[in-house]
Amino acid sequence: MSALYFSVLRPQDRVAVKPHASPVFHAIQYLFGHQTREKLENFRGFKGAQSYPSRTKDVDDVDFSTGSVGLGVAQTLFASLVQDYVKAHGWAKNRPEGRMIALVGDAEMDEGNIFEALLEGWKHGLRNTWWVVDYNRQSLDAVVREGLWEKFESMFRNFGWDVVIVKYGRLMREAFAEPGGEALRKWIDACPNQLYAALCFQGGAAFRKHLRDEIGDQGSVTQLIERRSDEELLALMSNLGGHDMASMCEAFESIDHDRPVCFIAYTIKGVGLPFQGHKDNHAGLMTVAQMEKWRGTQNIRPGHEWDKFEGLSQTPAELEAYLASAPFNREGRRRLSAPEIAVPERLAFSPSPQMSTQQGFGLVLNELARGDSALAERIVTASPDVTVSTNLGAWVNRRGLFARAEKADLFRSEKIPSTFNWDASPKGQHIELGIAEMNLFILMSALGLSHAINGERLLPVATLYDPFIERGLDALNYACYQDARFMVAATPSGITLAPEGGAHQSIATPLIGMAQDGLSSFEPAFVDELAVIMGWGFRHMQREAGEGGSVYLRLTTRTLEQPQRIMTPDLETGITEGAYWLRKPGPNAEVVIAYTGAVAPEAIEAVGLLGESRRDIGLLAITSADRLHAGWTAARKLRRDRRGVAHLSHIEKLLAPLPRDCGLVSVIDGHPATLAWLGGVRGHRVEALGVEHFGQTGTIDDLYRHHGLDANAIIDAAESLTSGAPVRHRKLAV
Ligand SMILES: Cc1ncc(C[n+]2csc(CCOP(=O)(O)OP(=O)(O)O)c2C)c(N)n1
Ligand SMILES: [Mg+2]
């Protein structure tokens, strides 16, 4: 890291620092003047420097948040693809190309998402990406398998990467040049990882004993060893390439091309510390006595631990001048910004009386693709091999696939009829991915940070099947954590895919949508709602940190009869705030049906039948349980803090007119807990209907009946909350 930050990096380069190298990162930023002593002293404390580098919680110019190992590594790869995308579209013309660099733990390489990303990088002609593997041959629990580097090397070469192995430091290389040096090198190369680590822990005398026992008395090599004291011998044997500044600088500086490079840098975990090489050292702490001793070896005077240049032999003026001349620090902090892209007041779509929200999503994008708005220009779509089946086809037909080089759709050039045009070019606006949802979300993360990394705003839109959100969830979580901005259309969802696959049903995703920080989730029933939400979403994706965020649309292929209505400002507000009355309850309402998404017809039908024998029934359309709930908790907090005593949230206002003993039936094609909290708002009794079990196929009618989401189940639930004459039920076809 010292070689990189003080010598090799340029301001346009971006780095994902492995999570537990955070102290080193913060210390370097402290020297550059971007980190405060207060925050360093409070490392891992409340509002102190973060345990793992964080774009959103740290102040010192973190490029990519890391912590969940593997994700930061892949993020650099996708960030490089995004840089290519931006350049290919003719933007950021005056900015030099940056290298995207990851500092990778050797055990971190076990994370599958890295392999998924490698394959995607290869498909897209990856450039400008460096991964530096800290090859200390230790993970958290143990010492890694012998010969892992060979697997890394062949794998990276397979994917078209260059591999640079930095194994020996300068001391070692000098010793190898001495008489007998070759025998020493052979011994080092043959020494098993565990033994090498153990000897580093035990020290010079232990190395000497092993070398003597194993090499025997061989004249020159014996003299080479005996010429050195125990201390010198340990210094020699622990002088692996990754610890040698000159070797690392040389390795980095030898790269004169833009092909991706993997550096495998041999290191010793905890080098220089009393527990170096010990297999239990991952979370090792020094005792006070050990720390005192170590302080002495570093020439640090007591009380001067935070002095920037303590323990160094150069003058402060020399060191200040050196820091000021570090190329990386030339421009200070490197976080960029980009102007907002205007979003039309209304997003258009060509309506039809019967549609699904998935179709509607495709229609809105198609309409954008037909026009020439700035919004359409900045949208980038991506999908993990479900472009066509999530209705992105029309958009892609008009806007094309992205590739650095032109590539014609052969079916098209051969005039073979096909609904879809897959011509690829540098101007294309759709990035087609293989079936790896992790990659999709890491790409969203990279695209969604383009304003901060490249100074050019992109408005990324991802599509995938709703259940596979869970496949990429950690990457989605990290994308949100680093405040990347994107829109996810997840479709189909719930059990609406019905006959096509019990295995593709999603139950938990509405709860994920509610619980995921930085993500506003919506589940509209009707396409006019969806168009309003998408417009709001494109604006929300561009709001300041702390105000804006990403957007999740839970959609369906279920075709519903569309309401013929005028979109009023009030209705629009209701839709984006999370709910509106589709049928306003009367003053003596006995029961209210609150529904979300695709179950609208069941709710509407139940309300019709209930109206025959219950008074003043209301029908509440909930477009976003997430926004409603967030508004409710925020309002309560405001009131508790006495800052806005009168402040009522949207859902409180909606439910306020209901009599105290009015019952509430909530219904969603998803987990019932999504809406069950509604009873807590004003103390109404709730019957929460939803899906709790997974995997049965059937028609939508079969399944809604089976899971208790059909009109009759809603009526039963309403009856259980009210008294009065039995309600007429829907007649079932026999
Ligand atoms: C996804 C994930 N799983 C588990 C962990 C816990 N963890 C932190 S570091 C680590 C081992 C790291 O070993 P390596 O990558 O070789 O790093 P180094 O040896 O440099 O410490 C583990 C398992 C994590 N941070 N993220
Ligand atoms: Mg390791």
Token readout for 52 is 């793992």
The string of pLDDT tens digits covering residues 100-151 is 999 999 999 999 999 999 999 999 999 999 999 999 999 998 888 888 989 9
Tell me: pLDDT of 644 over 70. no
Q: Residue 101 in 3-state DSSP? A: strand
The string of pLDDT tens digits covering residues 541-577 is 999 999 999 999 999 999 999 999 999 999 999 999 9
Across the beta sheet with 14-16, what order do the strands follow? 14-16, 100-105, 129-135, 261-266, 162-166
Does 242 contact ligand 1 (Cβ within 6 A)? no
The string of pLDDT tens digits covering residues 659-690 is 999 999 999 999 999 999 999 999 999 999 99
Query: Which of ligand 1's atoms lies nearest the C-alpha of 105?
Result: 15
d(C-alpha 581, C-alpha 522), whole Å? 17
Does 106 contact ligand 1 (Cβ within 6 A)? yes
Q: Ligand 1 test: best mutation among 18, 20, 24, most atoms within 8 Å of CB?
A: 20
Query: Under a CB-based contact definition with an 8 Å cutoff, are residues 612 and 685 in contact?
Result: no
Token readout for 268 is 């010793």
Q: Cα(432) to centroid of ligand 1, in Å? A: 31
Which residue from 108, 32, 39 is spatially nearest to 74, judged by alpha carbons?
108
- From residue 336, alpha-carbon distances to 70, 451, 487 in Å are 25, 6, 21
Query: Which of ligand 1's atoms lies nearest the C-alpha of 68?
Result: 26
Q: Name the DSSP class of 599.
A: G
> Which residues, at least 6 apart from 626, have a Cβ–Cβ distance to it below 8 Å?
513, 514, 519, 520, 521, 522, 578
Does 17 contact ligand 1 (Cβ within 6 A)? no
Query: Which of ligand 1's atoms lies nearest the C-alpha of 104?
Result: 15
Does 69 contact ligand 1 (Cβ within 6 A)? yes
- From residue 412, alpha-carbon distances to 245, 390, 426 in Å are 55, 22, 18
**H runs (alpha helix) in 142-217:** 148-158, 170-177, 181-190, 193-202, 204-215
Backbone angles phi, psi at 111, to 5 degrees: -65, 125
The string of pLDDT tens digits covering residues 10-29 is 999 999 999 999 999 999 99
Does 545 contact ligand 1 (Cβ within 6 A)? no
In this predicted structure, what is the pLDDT of residue 734? 59
Does 512 contact ligand 1 (Cβ within 6 A)? no
The string of pLDDT tens digits covering residues 420-462 is 888 999 999 999 999 999 999 999 999 999 999 999 999 999 9
Q: Cα(509) to centroid of ligand 2, in Å? A: 35
In this predicted structure, what is the pLDDT of residue 332? 83
d(C-alpha 137, C-alpha 242), whole Å? 12
Q: Ligand 1 test: best mutation among 22, 75, 139, most atoms within 8 Å of CB?
A: 139
The string of pLDDT tens digits covering residues 23-75 is 999 999 999 999 999 999 999 999 999 999 999 999 999 999 999 999 999 99
d(C-alpha 526, C-alpha 563), whole Å? 8
Q: Cα(48) to centroid of ligand 2, in Å? A: 26
Tell me: pLDDT of 77 over 80. yes
Residue 419 pLDDT grade (very low, low, confident, very high; cuts 50, 70, 90) = confident
The pLDDT of 727-732, averaged and rounded, is: 88
Q: Cα(140) to centroid of ligand 2, in Å? A: 7
In this predicted structure, what is the pLDDT of residue 409? 87
The string of pLDDT tens digits covering residues 324-362 is 999 999 888 899 999 999 999 999 999 999 999 999 999
Which residue from 358, 585, 324, 594 is spatially nearest to 463, judged by alpha carbons?
358
**H runs (alpha helix) in 390-435:** 393-399, 410-413
DSSP strands (E only) in 482-564: 487-490, 519-522, 550-554, 560-561
Mean pLDDT of the chain: 95
Residue owning tokens 């417009």: 535
d(C-alpha 546, C-alpha 108), whole Å? 31
Query: Residues with beta carbon < 5 A to ion ligand 2?
Result: 105-107, 136, 138
First to last CA, the chain: 72
Which residue's CA is the nearest one to ligand 1's atom 13? Answer: 139
